Structure 1
Amino acid sequence: MINKLSASVADALTGIADGATVLIGGFGTAGIPNELIDGLIEQGARELTVVNNNAGNGDHGLAALLKTGRVRKVICSFPRQSDSHVFDGLYRSGQLELELVPQGNLAERLRAAGAGIGAFFTPTGYGTDLARNPDGTDKETRVINGRPYVLEYPIFGDVALIKAKRGDRWGNLTYRKAARNFGPVMATAAKRTVASVFEVAELGALDPESIVTPGIHVSAVVQVPRTATQAGGFREIS
């Protein structure tokens, strides 16, 4: 019998190794799997490469993970905002490496990993510092139909931590509005995906037409309590 439900966050995160590349869903504060991030902090893996759209807010969630000093590198598209002081301090002091990726390229590099695409050409970043590799060398470029493009490679994860709204014991997932963001592509790009959900549905209760992430891409599902958080002056259920 297939049963991907985990009894606890700790059980779901067992086996994440030092040096792992961890894909973490979320866009700003929407869809951040805070309970899984807190569990990763407790789990203790070090020298991590973290992939997220942002680089943490305030002192909680992803910022709290960075604050532990156990993240070696961040790959993201928007690292700086008014409350990203944890990232800012670590980066300026040389304790954290940054690979800055345009947001569309970030999404496509993740999608390419899940789709088995070896590399792709994109016009985004051509002629800028973003057309250089992290080691300073120039990325491959090509002119196609008179337009210049930059070659980009997939981003693969050892594990993806994502937040969904509902899931069943087979790992099928549905999401809540903007909280969906990078979750679906990250689930396909990682060797192992752990999803937190607010509700566990009985098998067959999820409309197949509404399932965004099929269970084949999910390794573990753990139920977490629904909490209200403050975001942008409004109360929202995250």
Structure 2
Amino acid sequence: MIDKTYASATEAVADIPEGASLAVGGFGLSGNPTALIQALLAQGTGDLSIVSNNCGVDDWGLGVLLNAKRIRKMTSSYVGENKEFERQFLSGELELELTPQGTLAEKLRAGGSGIAAFFTQTGVGTQVAEGGLPRRYDGQGGVAVASPVKDVRAFVVGGIAGDYVLEEAIVTDFSLVHALKGDRHGNLIFNKAARNFNPLAAMAGRVCIAEVEELVEPGELDPDQIHLPGIYVHRIIEVGHDIEKRIERRTVSVADALSRDIPEGA
């Protein structure tokens, strides 16, 4: 039996070195591996290159690493909820590889599947393909680093000719993910919207570290319900069901939530 459990988040992330690349699950604040992120923050590791849909918010999720100046580069598809992200990017402190959301998902999946690259129509005719998209500013309004020109080729797909841009797969040193349940072999089940970028991020990491709300014994999970097989997961910790979860924006008032028996912040 291969027992992949670790005693704590601190122990699980202990060997993530300075300058490592990480794929991190989550969409907005849904499905963020917050215990692992907090352990990495406490450890002091910096100069990180992180691939994640977004960078949390100013005081939660990946935003805590950003605030501590631990992140050198983000590869993301959305960056609109974090004021510190905007400040660091425009001041030249942070590099950003802005990537269309579906393309980012496929780059992670391809990396985990052993596919070196793929062609997609997304981005054709834009700076995504033609280059010149700012990746790092010089702090004075100029562009210090711009995205390169990508290979564009014509294909006939389903009898329709069109241009497609080449996108390379993403493989990272480590990946951090959050799941609802997992067993000691690393098989994972995600809860609803938390099954967003988590399986894809897990696939892309050479070493995948998963935090789960509930850890069970091998054989207790219905094989037909498993979203990610344990072959992609190398370390697993249990964080409990009461781990703090946040939302980016409240969509109902406190009074309205209470009148409908909705827990505050749910």
Give the structure-1-normalised TM-score: 0.94
**What is the aligned partner in structure 1 of residue 227 from structure 2?**
212
Deviation at 1:230, TM superposition (A): 4.2
User: Alignment partner of 1:121: what SS?
Assistant: strand
* Offset at residue 15 of structure 1 (A): 0.9
Aligned with residue 104 of structure 1, among 102, 105, 108 = 102
Report matched runs for 1:174-193 at 5 Å: 174-193=189-208
Aligned residues of 1:163 and 1:197 also touching (Cα < 8 A): yes
How big is each residue's C-alpha offset from its partner over 1:110-137, in whole Å with a ceiling of 9 and x where there is no partner? 0110111111110000111111276443
Aligned pairs, number: 236
Q: How many angstroms does 1:228 deviate by?
A: 5.0
Secondary structure class of the residue paired with 2:165: strand
Change over 3 Å in CA distance of 1:230–1:66 after alignment to 2: closer
- Residue type of the partner of 1:44? G
- Aligned with 2:153: secondary structure? strand
- Report 1:218-229 matches (<5 A): 218-225=233-240, 226-227=242-243, 229=245
* Aligned counterparts of 2:231 and 2:102: Cα–Cα separation in 1: 25
Label 1:37 to 1:53 Cα distance change in 2 as closer, same or farther (>3 A). same
Secondary structure at the residue paired with 2:225? coil
* Number of the residue aligned with 1:128: 126
- Local SS of the residue matching 1:86: helix
Match of 2:223, SS state, is coil
Letter in 1 for 2:148: T
2:152 aligned residue: 141
Q: Percent identity?
A: 44
State the alpha-carbon separation in 1 of the partners of residues 220 and 265 from structure 2.
22
CA gap of 1:236–1:189, structure 2 versus 1, over 3 A, is farther
Q: CA RMSD in A?
A: 1.7
User: How far apart are the structure 1 equivalents of 2:61 and 2:246?
Assistant: 14
Q: Contact 1:77 / 1:101 at 8 angstroms: preserved in 2? A: yes
1:164 alignment partner, SS class: strand
The alignment status of 1:233 with 2:231, answered yes or no, reads no
Q: Secondary structure in 2 aligned to 1:29?
A: coil
Q: Which moved more, 1:121-130 or 1:220-229?
A: 220-229
Task: For structure 2, list consecutive stretches of 5 or more residues without a partner in the other structure.
Answer: 136-145, 252-262
Q: What is the distance in 2 between the residues matched to 1:56 and 1:112?
A: 24
Moved over 6 A (4+): none
8 Å contact 1:229–1:236 — kept in the other structure?
A: no
Pairs within 5 Å for 1:55-94:
55-81=55-81, 84-94=82-92
Instruction: Please tell me whether Structure 1 or Structure 2 has the larger radius of gyration of its CA atoms.
Output: 2
Quickly say closer, same or farther: Cα 1:43–1:156, change in 2 above 3 A. Answer: same
2 CA distance for matches of 1:5 and 1:230?
26
Q: CA deviation at 1:68?
A: 1.1
Question: How far 1:172 moved relative to its partner?
Answer: 0.8
Deviations 1:156-214 (Å, cap 9, x if unpaired)? 11100000001111111111001011111111111000111110112211000111111
Q: Which amino acid aligns with 1:98?
A: L
> CA distance change for structure 1 residues 100 and 228 in 2, over 3 Å: closer, same or farther?
same
Provide Cα deviations, 1:97-154, integer angstroms capped at 9, x if missing partner. 0000000000000011011111111000011111127644310001112201110000
Supply the AA of the counterpart residue of 2:149: D
Determine the C-alpha separation between the residues in 2 that align with 1:16 and 1:34.
16
Range that drifts further, 218-227 or 3-12: 218-227
Whole-Å separation in 1 of the counterparts to 2:180 and 2:223: 15
